[in-house]
Chains A and B, each alone.
Chain A
Amino acid sequence: MRVYRALGGVWLRLACCGLVILSLAGCGDSGPASSGAPTTVRRLTQEQYATIVADIFGSDITIKGRFDPDVREEGLLAIGTSHVSITPASLEQYDSLARSIAAQVVDEKHRDLLVGCRPASKAAPDDVCARQFLSEVGRQLYRRPLTDSEIATQVKVADDATRAIGDFYYGLETSLAILLESPRFLFREEIAESDPDNSGGFRLNAYSRASRLSFFLWNTAPDDALLAAAENGDLDSERGRARQVDRMLASPRLKAGVRAFFTDMLGFDTLGGLAKDPQIYPKFTATLAGEAQEQTLRTITDHLVTRKGDYRDLFTTRRTFLSPLLASIYQVPIQARKGWEAHEYPDGDPHTGIVTEVSFLALHSHPGRSSSTLRGKAVREILLCQAVPTPPANVNFSIVQDTKNTNYRTARDRLTAHRTQPTCAGCHKIIDPIGLSLENFDGLGALRQQENGAPIDDSGQLDAMQFSGAVGLGKTLHDSPAATACLVNRIYGYASGHLPAKGEVEWIKYLQDRFAADGYRVPDLMRRIAISDAFYKITIPPNSPTQANSGAGKAPSMERKS
């Protein structure tokens, strides 16, 4: 954890050849040596589950149910998925989901298309058809071919159920439901193998590599081509991986992967539960919250994927997408009466970059007013990967909260008074000046020039940089080395499901360096990670007999608490 933050806060630009001398690694494109990290076992997210089911069975299969909430760790739900389990109540949900999906797949409307074979008799077991269907679907769900004994078990489940009920399709349904609630499907279990290129070392096996790659780039299970590549050894080399990675980066599905990453990093899971006071912000609804998220994700994918833009420009871009509802908040005239319309703000407009969108401004505000503190904290924690301590227990917030006090009409006045308390000053002076530059946006994200009749002073400060307004903040974030280093750390944590281990630090610094050299192109960064050997390297597999007496192995339990 500390290692992670150190990387986020301090950006070290290291020349590759400097590293050669230091680490004796090759000066090729692959960077310094990495120790790798322990394998992970990640619980599928609700979105991954739904995407996989739609990939296999089509999007007209209804998925009704709620999963247990994910847990955010070190800024990412993706890391939390490596530490959560499945409770009895949660398994009930998986069970009823699995049965409902399986029933739809074999119903009269879908069976001919989705099952792919017909039984000799609808009332009796048909091993050939059952085997064909279950082994094919099983390979997609387990993200590897089923073993012979796994296939035999699934066919037997189908046969037994067929005999008991007298219905072949009920048999298939029962067996499919079992696949859908199997731990081999619900958990992304990684398996290590000896690394032939690194004697005594370990790497993920080919199917685990395919999964890591696929969930990283597309946020779903490997497709047929990727599983085939795993099977025939194509994923063993960087060159072979490059072929698959380039295919996947060229696919429209890359946008889904990029959206999933930013949804996690920007904390949009909490947008769904966001509450605003209806008397103060009557325009705020769940629909608006959903559209605000969509606006930012469209802005991001358009800029990073379609236009292959520089990550830093996300903080200054004037290009965005608007729905009629959002346009009414931003007070921008648009043509579209429904749907989305591309929009470009004029030069000098305070709407610059994703920090000036409702998804950020409303999410990091109070229900009834803006919050320079929450916004400043979000900039530090989410965009710069810096930790902000929690406030002390016994604090008198009266001045900050009283928006009616005529002595302190603006948020700046109130916060300044609050900051005179020495216990609060330490943190607030590094948070508030960031958020104060956004005070021209109210608690929903609409522009305002005054607060309680007093003009708003939108000057701000981030570390040594002084600036004014959202334009100044955007430019400062654009130029901040911490922001780009943070992106690299987050994307690596997201892709690997763990905090960087000690032995990965040099490699991540190298990634930060290459990210700069590549013009801060996020798909290029994703490509570099996805084809590298380092991404698939494992310190030591958990079941290795050498683990007990090896000092190199880092137990997963230590990883969490470090």
Chain B
Amino acid sequence: MRFTRRTALRGVLGGGAVSVALPFLDCFLNDNGTAIAATGAQLPVRFGTWFWGCGLTPGRWIPNKTGTGYDMPTELKPLEAFRDRLTICSGFKANTDGKGAVPHYTGSMSILTGSAPKGQGLVDFPTFDTTIADTIGTATRFRSLELTATGNPRDSNSLRSSAVINAAEPSPAAFYARLFGADFKDPNAANFTPDPKVMVRKSALSAIKEQRDALLAEVGTTDRARLDQYFTSIRQLEQQLEIQLEKPAPLEACSVPSQPAVTKTGTQIDDAIANHKLLAELLAHALACNQTKVFNMVFADAGSSLRKAGSTVTHHQLTHEEPIDEKTGCQPEATFFVERIVEALQTMLVTLDGVKEGDGTLLDHSLVFAHSECSFAKIHSLETIPMLIAGRAGGKIKTGIHIAGNGDPVTRVGLTVQQAMGVPMNEWGAGSMQTSKSISELMV
């Protein structure tokens, strides 16, 4: 028998609703190779942030040429292979609007919330990854996944408010257990039977949900918001269970990785590199298996604590203390860490690009927004903080371009990214950083 899309479809319909045993073949794709023919759904577009602390070196990361076909600058050389899928945003500025700059915090939070924070830990708005997650991530098992390579769960830049911080997972072993443990339903499994215990758990949660109104009425405004967040979390847990009860659509690119060993986590550079690689690989599987569409990775914490084994100083200390070598224009010891950071970003992109999916790769169907928290860490500069956009976002953004911001607010980049990810908004940011000017060169 000739295997066509039609016979495959017939197989699905004829074989009953919950017991599908078909390999995922390219015949599920439409002629452009972008859609799952059986359901007509587009391959999902994913969004991720990738953060590192302590910036890059002025004069060593900004291309001379703007627009497409830019020259790859010294410090970004490891990303050369991705040039046609890498946009570099330089020259954008974070304005503090008189709020005073908190070293290693104001820059990242201005980029992510559209407004300078009032102080350490005090943001006025959520970070925009949560806005994107609420737009594209509501139908997956996890709305977003937060990760850190430097060992501390506090190192997360994903905040819904000052009090609601999505803590980061530092351990690949624990991350594996969360993703592919008992609650994982393999989309490509031959058989699917809804677990009656999951049904029981889901319906039991209504006993908690029905406490909401009474509880919220008993507390003040601030506490009400905190408790309401708890109930939002309950609804998301309920949704996770709901997803486990449905036969997942088969996914060509999805495969279950092997379980990683327990690793040593921490700020030592070799540990960070090793853990980041493991986390990135697990993440790629999670994305390919449609467990989430949004991730946030911290490679080096704000004010990078990365250090070499046997050395007393951190990357952060070096950026302040080390003299600048006149010949190369950089701080040689600090630059060692900059090089490792950019290589780690390369690892992330290579990993995503290694997953073939439809007409391209996972990276083609993703938008990875990589950024730091300052430009020149020595003086905590908020001008021209490095921001990079990697991936094609499933064709929703133009890429391979060097955009020179010429002192425009960083919010122009955040607005553009959110619009590309389908967030309905015309303007974004607060105070002098409020903007309705997305970057037209990038918009499709």
Residues of A within 8 A of B (CB): 38-41, 66, 68-69, 71, 83-92, 95, 99, 153-154, 156-157, 160-161, 164-165, 170, 174-175, 177-178, 181-184, 186-187, 189, 191, 273, 275, 277-280, 366-369, 390, 393-398, 401, 403, 542-543, 555-557, 560
Contact = CB atoms under 8 A, between A and B. Distances in A.
Given A175-B204, A178-B204, A542-B223, A91 B218 contact: no
A100 to B, nearest CB: 11
A396 B321 contact: yes
Contacts, number: 176
B197 interface: yes
Most chain B CB within a 10 A radius of its CB, from A68, A89, A161: A89
B140 to A, nearest CB: 12
A164 B197 CA distance: 8
Nearest to B266: A275
Contacts of A398: 321, 323
A40 to B, nearest CB: 8
B237 to A, nearest CB: 6
A183 B215 contact: yes
Interface of B: 101, 103, 121, 142-143, 145-146, 151-154, 160, 162-167, 169, 174, 178, 196-197, 199-201, 203-205, 207-208, 210-211, 215, 217-223, 225-227, 229-234, 236-237, 240, 266-268, 307, 309-314, 317, 320-321, 323, 378-380
A89 B197 contact: no
Contacts of A66: 153, 174
B208 A181 contact: yes
Given A38-B220, A91-B236, A278-B309, A85 B226 contact: yes
A189 B207 contact: no
Given A66-B153, A275-B266, A401-B321, A39 B219 contact: yes
Nearest to A150: B211
A87 to B, nearest CB: 5
11 contacts: A71-B163, A87-B167, A153-B207, A160-B200, A184-B211, A184-B215, A279-B310, A367-B307, A368-B312, A394-B380, A396-B320
Given A85-B230, A90-B167, A542-B218, A367 B236 contact: no
B310 A160 contact: no
Given A183-B211, A396-B321, A398-B321, A367 B312 contact: yes
A397 B318 CA distance: 10
Most chain A CB within a 10 A radius of its CB, from B103, B211, B226, B267: B226
A186 B207 CA distance: 15
B207 A178 contact: yes
Nearest to A280: B312
Contact of B236 (A88, A99, A279): A88
A393 B101 contact: yes
Contacts of B321: 396-398, 401
Contacts of B229: 85-87
Given A84-B226, A85-B230, A543-B217, A91 B312 contact: no
Given A174-B200, A191-B218, A273 B310 contact: no
Nearest to A392: B103
Contact of B310 (A85, A91, A275, A277): A277
Which 9 pairs show the lowest CB-CB distances between chains A and B? A368-B312, A542-B220, A91-B233, A85-B229, A85-B226, A279-B310, A41-B223, A88-B236, A556-B222
A189 B219 CA distance: 8
Contacts of A153: 207, 210
Contact of A189 (B197, B218, B236): B218
Nearest to A162: B200
Contacts of A278: 309-310
A3 to B, nearest CB: 18
Given A85-B227, A89-B146, A161 B204 contact: yes
A369 B312 contact: yes
B220 A555 contact: yes
Contacts of A390: 103
Nearest to A72: B121
A557 B222 contact: yes
Contacts of B312: 277, 280, 366-369, 403
Nearest to B225: A85
A455 B188 CA distance: 71
Nearest to B154: A69
Nearest to A80: B163
Contact of B237 (A88, A161, A164, A187): A88
Nearest to A186: B230
Contacts of A560: 222
Most chain A CB within a 10 A radius of its CB, from B162, B219, B313, B317: B219
A401 B313 contact: yes
A165 B320 contact: no
A557 B221 contact: yes
A84 B163 contact: yes
Nearest to A366: B312
A261 B438 CA distance: 51
Contacts of B142: 88-89
A164 B199 contact: yes
A39 B226 contact: no
A189 B215 contact: yes
B336 to A, nearest CB: 17
Contacts of B101: 393
B334 to A, nearest CB: 13
A222 to B, nearest CB: 19
Contact of B317 (A39, A89, A182, A401): A401
